Structure 1
Amino acid sequence: MKMKNLTMIATMLLMVLTAPGTYAQNYKQPVPSIDANGKVIDAKGKHIGWVTSEGIIKNAAGKKIAHIDDQGNAVDAATGKKLGKASKNGTYLYHVQSGASDSLTVTVPMNGICEVKDQHGKTLLLVHENYKQYGACAMHCLKLKNEHKDMKMK
C-alpha cells in the first residue's frame, strides 16, 4: 500500500514540475534563432546566415555582408555605410529609409538563451548568449538581404 502511494505522489510531483515548461514553448509562432555556433535560422527553419563572435555577419553561402566596427556600428560590407548601432548590452538601434530609428532589446540569458524583443515586448529572435551583442544586428541585416532590400540606410 505504501509503495502505491509513493509511486502516485512521485508521478504527481513529476507532472507538477514539468507542466510550466510545456506552457513556455509556443510552437504556433516560431521565432528565428541563432545557435551556439552562430548559425542563423529564420522562423521557417531555413539557414539564412552566420554571425561570428567578432561581429562578422555572413549569408548562408558564407559571403560577408556586414560587420560590427570598433565603435559598435553595423557596417554594410559592400558600401561601407552604417546600418545601425549594436550596443554592448545587445540593444540594437537600426535606421530606416525615412531616417527614423527603432530599437531591439535583449534579455538576460536564461539557460544560455536570450530573447530579442521589439519596443512592444514581442520576442523576435532567440539568440545564444555567445552572440548576445550581435544577434539582433545579424538578424536584421540577414532578413533585409534575404528580402532583397537595400541595406544602405544611412
Structure 2
Amino acid sequence: MKSFSHIFLLLGLLSVSLSTMAQSRNYKHIAQSGEIKDEKGLTIGTVSKDQIIKDFNGQKIAFIDNQGNLIDAKTNKKMGRMGKDGKNYYNAEGELEFKMKDNGNTCEIFNAAGKKIGDVHSSLKASACALACFQEKHRKHS
C-alpha cells in the first residue's frame, strides 16, 4: 500500500514539474542592467537607457519613441505602444498583447490570455514592450 502512495506522489510531483516547465517555455526577463534573457537564462538582446532595443548580435532592431511607441528599426513602422496607464502593451492594430502586474522590484508580464510570459525589473517597466520584439511573430518578419 505504501509503495502505491509513493508512486502516486512521485507521479504527482513529476506532472507538476512538467507543467511548470511548459508554462515557462517562452518566459523572458529584462534585468535591471537592460539585458533581455530567454527561458534558459541566455542573453537574447538588450534595451538601453535610451530605449534602443538590440538583438544578441548588437544589431538595433527597434526603439521606443518619446510617446511610448515601439518602432521597428528597419522599417520605421510602429509595432505597438504602451497604454496610457503604463501597464498594458497594445500591438499596431490596437489589440492588447500583454499586461504588467507590479510585484516588488519586478513587474510580471502576462499575455492577453493571462499566461505569464516574463518579467521586467521595475526600473525598466517603460521598456517592457521590448519583449514584443522577441516574440516569434515579430522575429519572422525581421
Common fold by TM > 0.5: yes
Say if 1:90 and 1:105, in contact at 8 Å, map to a contact too. Answer: yes
2:127 is matched with 134
Question: What is the TM-score normalised by the length of structure 2?
Answer: 0.73
Say if 1:58 and 1:65, in contact at 8 Å, map to a contact too. Answer: yes
CA-to-aligned-CA distance 1:35-68 (integer Å, 9 cap, x gap): 1101111123221100123321111121111001
CA gap 1:45/1:73 in 2 versus in 1, 3 angstroms:
same
CA-to-aligned-CA distance 1:10-35 (integer Å, 9 cap, x gap): xxxxxxxxxxxxxxxx9634321111
CA–CA distance in 2 between the matches of 1:85 and 1:101?
A: 10
CA gap 1:130/1:57 in 2 versus in 1, 3 angstroms:
same
Aligned length: 120
CA–CA distance in 1 between the matches of 2:79 and 2:98?
A: 14
Residue identity matched to 1:125? G
For structure 1, which runs of at least 5 residues remain unmatched after alignment? Answer: 1-25
CA–CA distance in 2 between the matches of 1:148 and 1:123?
A: 20
Say if 1:87 and 1:133, in contact at 8 Å, map to a contact too. Answer: no
Return the structure number with greater strand share. 2
Q: Which has the higher contact order (CA 8 A, sep 6+)?
A: 1
The alignment's C-alpha RMSD in Å is: 2.3
1:70 is matched with 66
Moved over 4 A (4+): none
Question: What is the TM-score normalised by the length of structure 1?
Answer: 0.68
2:98 is matched with 104
**For the pair shown, which has the larger CA radius of gyration, 1 or 2?**
1
